[in-house]
């Protein structure tokens, strides 16, 4: 009998040679199944062999390793490897709900999805009253995973209560934040879960059309999603009569065009309408006047992909995890200069240090960690002294930081934090939509001011000026782009003042 081996098709795995490995294994006689990635990206390409002990892992496997491993009995699970993948400490220490099937199933195979319980949440939802679905999502405590952390159920209730013949569900997959890649991995590894999450949202609020706005930098995710949508239509999971319930809902893919700002929800709506991706002032809120002026649910990929597990296993089970007002799990992403990078899905409340050191194993270079940036390019830089911070929306906000989309980027002690602060302003200047002055002009002035601070001629006065500018951008910008760019800048100055030529005192820490 032919042995089944699993090789990720996730673009991160492919970026380090998974396609070549898969080809060689197929030539060696194995039946190769292409899956998503388990998220242990430092082990990619990670090959899993089906055995009676479960799926036994080998990794990282390069094309040059394949012949030797096959000769040593890899295809019987006999060669020395990592052992059963599910038993690896990195996997066992997680609570995978949203990512339960990522890395396990063939993302192009609807049968595989259904066999692994992928439709349980949708079936449960369709058996309930739509208002009860909204209540379940509210009771689960789910908050927007895109970064803002707004309660998903409240948003849905607003859309459900709006009177309109036409409502939309828009999924924000414009994952432009550096250090975040969980949206991409979910779409590439388990796209049906996103589609069922969107369908549940549509049923709950009475929407008939869905759009997924995927960034163009993710061509593999776009392809995986289109394949899944075609398959879902073929199965009647999408279309005029979803699972025979009489509910009509269909999903369309829209591809972004290289504008970071389109990850901001109102810019995304403008872009979906075929316009320049400029930010809309709020109110009106998109829940009432969103896409083409109609009531619209706008949720991040991970928010929507968390909904099926909530409906399948109950709001209480989800809400039982987490701390304070941060309920359930978050898919954390470890990137940058890190020994063991990847995704870790676990309940809120885990400490920053545990993620970076226990899961991540410190830096890739082996040098000491100096700084981590949490929550993307608009998130704060934190020193190791803050590694005790629990991953919790409120705890981070109280420390002048943000959890954001759960991305953590690690830097070693060679980093120059004044350069990173400058980059934050440079990035804002490059990506500002131009609609409001504090962001459009402020970011340019920010770069200039930081350059003068680095040159050091009139440092104290320039630091005061920069602080003034940061205050203005925070208070005066139309959206989070200009409003949060001061977060990395100010936190870099506060925690790493020596890089700006500021004498370091103990209390500055």
Partner 1 sequence: MSIEAPPGLVDEVVNRAVETHRASRGALLPILHAVSEELGHVPPSVVPVLADRLNLSTAEVHGVVTFYRDFRTTPPGRVTVRVCRAEACQAVGAEALLEHAVASLGVERGETTPDGAVTLDEVFCLGNCALGPAVQVGDRLHGRVTPARLDALIGQAR
Judged by the rule CB under 8 A, the positions of this chain that interact with partner 1 are 11-12, 14-16, 41-42, 44, 175-181, 184, 209, 216-220, 252, 254-260, 271-278, 292, 333-338, 341-342, 364-365, 373, 377, 407, 409-412, 415, 420, 423, 427, 430-431
**Nearest in space to 13 (alpha carbons), one of 341, 405, 410:** 341
User: Which is nearer to partner 1, 146 or 341 (by Cβ)?
Assistant: 341
Shortest separation between residue 503's beta carbon and partner 1, angstroms: 27
User: Which is nearer to partner 1, 142 or 272 (by Cβ)?
Assistant: 272
Q: What is the 3-state secondary structure (H, E, C) of 303-333?
A: HHHHHHHHHHHCHHHHHCCEECCEECEEEEE
Q: Quote the CA–CA distance of 222 and 215 in Å, as a whole number.
A: 8
Token pair belonging to 285: 């809120």
Give the angle subtended at the CA of 115 by the CAs of 113 and 117, to the nearest 5°. Answer: 75
- Tell me the CA distances in angstroms from 286 to 155, 166, 168, 302, one per residue in order: 9, 14, 10, 19
Shortest separation between residue 273's beta carbon and partner 1, angstroms: 4
Terminal alpha carbon distance of the chain: 62
Q: Quote the CA–CA distance of 59 and 36 in Å, as a whole number.
A: 15
User: Which is nearer to partner 1, 56 or 221 (by Cβ)?
Assistant: 221
User: Which is nearer to partner 1, 36 or 141 (by Cβ)?
Assistant: 36
Residues 6+ apart with CB under 8 A from 461: none
Taken in order 78, 103, 12, 250, is the CA torsion positive or negative? positive
User: Which is nearer to partner 1, 6 or 260 (by Cβ)?
Assistant: 260
Ramachandran angles phi, psi of 326, nearest 5°: -105, 95
User: Which is nearer to partner 1, 122 or 251 (by Cβ)?
Assistant: 251
User: Which is nearer to partner 1, 236 or 258 (by Cβ)?
Assistant: 258
Shortest separation between residue 325's beta carbon and partner 1, angstroms: 28
Shortest separation between residue 233's beta carbon and partner 1, angstroms: 16
Token pair belonging to 238: 């999408």
User: Which is nearer to partner 1, 106 or 175 (by Cβ)?
Assistant: 175
Shortest separation between residue 487's beta carbon and partner 1, angstroms: 13
Shortest separation between residue 131's beta carbon and partner 1, angstroms: 28
Shortest separation between residue 497's beta carbon and partner 1, angstroms: 20
Shortest separation between residue 322's beta carbon and partner 1, angstroms: 24
Q: Quote the CA–CA distance of 438 and 483 in Å, as a whole number.
A: 9
Q: Quote the CA–CA distance of 218 and 214 in Å, as a whole number.
A: 7
Block residue for tokens 């099937």: 101
User: Which is nearer to partner 1, 19 or 139 (by Cβ)?
Assistant: 19
User: Which is nearer to partner 1, 62 or 458 (by Cβ)?
Assistant: 62
Other Cβ atoms closer than 10 A to 388: 11
Task: Please say whether the beta carbons of 407 and 335 come within 8 A.
Answer: yes
Q: Quote the CA–CA distance of 201 and 67 in Å, as a whole number.
A: 48
Q: Quote the CA–CA distance of 222 and 229 in Å, as a whole number.
A: 11
Element of type H or E holding 234 = helix 219-235
Residues 6+ apart with CB under 8 A from 281: 478
Taken in order 212, 224, 45, 119, is the CA torsion positive or negative? positive
User: Which is nearer to partner 1, 181 or 249 (by Cβ)?
Assistant: 181
User: Which is nearer to partner 1, 176 or 191 (by Cβ)?
Assistant: 176
Shortest separation between residue 411's beta carbon and partner 1, angstroms: 5
Task: Please say whether the beta carbons of 39 and 103 come within 8 A.
Answer: yes
Shortest separation between residue 142's beta carbon and partner 1, angstroms: 23
Paired strand residues for 249: 239
Shortest separation between residue 1's beta carbon and partner 1, angstroms: 34
Q: Quote the CA–CA distance of 279 and 263 in Å, as a whole number.
A: 10
Shortest separation between residue 419's beta carbon and partner 1, angstroms: 8
């Amino acid at each position: 009998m032919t042995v089944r081996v699993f090789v990720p098709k996730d673009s991160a795995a492919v970026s380090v040679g998974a396609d070549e490995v898969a080809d060689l294994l197929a030539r060696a006689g194995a039946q190769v199944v292409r899956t998503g990635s388990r998220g242990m990206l430092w082990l990619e390409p990670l090959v899993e062999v089906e055995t009676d002990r479960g799926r036994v892992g080998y990794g990282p496997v390069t094309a040059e390793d394949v012949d030797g491993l096959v000769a040593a009995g890899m295809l019987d699970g006999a060669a020395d490897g990592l052992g059963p993948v599910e038993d690896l400490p990195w996997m066992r220490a997680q609570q995978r709900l949203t990512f339960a099937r990522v890395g396990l199933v063939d993302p192009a195979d609807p049968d595989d999805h259904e066999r692994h319980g992928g439709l349980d949440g949708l079936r449960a939802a369709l058996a309930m009253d739509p208002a009860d679905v909204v209540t379940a999502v509210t009771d689960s405590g789910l908050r927007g995973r895109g970064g803002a952390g707004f309660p998903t159920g409240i948003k849905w209730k607003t859309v459900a209560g709006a009177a309109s013949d036409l409502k939309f569900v828009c999924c924000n997959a414009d994952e432009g934040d550096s250090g975040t890649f969980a949206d991409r991995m979910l779409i590439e590894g388990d796209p049906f879960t996103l589609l069922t999450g969107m369908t549940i949202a549509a049923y709950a609020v009475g929407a008939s059309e869905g759009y997924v706005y995927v960034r163009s930098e993710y061509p593999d995710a776009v392809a995986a999603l289109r394949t899944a949508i075609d398959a879902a239509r073929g199965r009647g999971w999408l279309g005029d009569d979803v699972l025979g319930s009489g509910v009509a809902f269909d999903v369309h893919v829209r591809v972004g065009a290289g504008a970071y700002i389109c990850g901001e929800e109102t810019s995304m709506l403008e872009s979906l309408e075929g316009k320049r991706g400029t930010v809309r002032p709020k109110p009106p809120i998109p829940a009432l006047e969103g896409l083409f002026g109609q009531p619209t649910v706008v949720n991040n990929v991970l928010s929507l992909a968390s909904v099926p597990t909530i409906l399948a296993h109950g709001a209480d089970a989800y809400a039982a995890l987490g701390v304070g007002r941060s309920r359930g799990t978050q898919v954390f992403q470890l990137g940058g200069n890190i020994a063991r990078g990847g995704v870790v899905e676990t309940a809120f409340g885990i400490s920053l240090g545990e993620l970076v050191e226990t899961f991540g194993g410190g830096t890739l270079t082996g040098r000491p960690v100096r700084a981590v940036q949490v929550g993307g390019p608009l998130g704060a830089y934190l020193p190791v002294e803050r590694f005790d911070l629990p991953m919790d929306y409120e705890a981070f906000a109280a420390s002048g930081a943000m959890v954001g989309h759960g991305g953590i980027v690690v830097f070693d002690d060679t980093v120059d934090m004044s350069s990173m602060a400058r980059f934050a302003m440079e990035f804002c200047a490059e990506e500002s939509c131009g609609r409001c002055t504090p962001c459009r002009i402020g970011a340019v002035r920010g770069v200039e001011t930081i350059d003068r601070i680095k040159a050091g001629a009139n440092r104290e006065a320039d630091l005061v000026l920069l602080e003034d500018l940061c205050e203005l951008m925070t208070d005066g910008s139309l959206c989070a782009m200009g409003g949060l760019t001061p977060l990395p800048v100010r936190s870099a100055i506060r925690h790493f003042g020596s890089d700006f030529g500021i004498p370091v005192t103990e209390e500055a820490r």
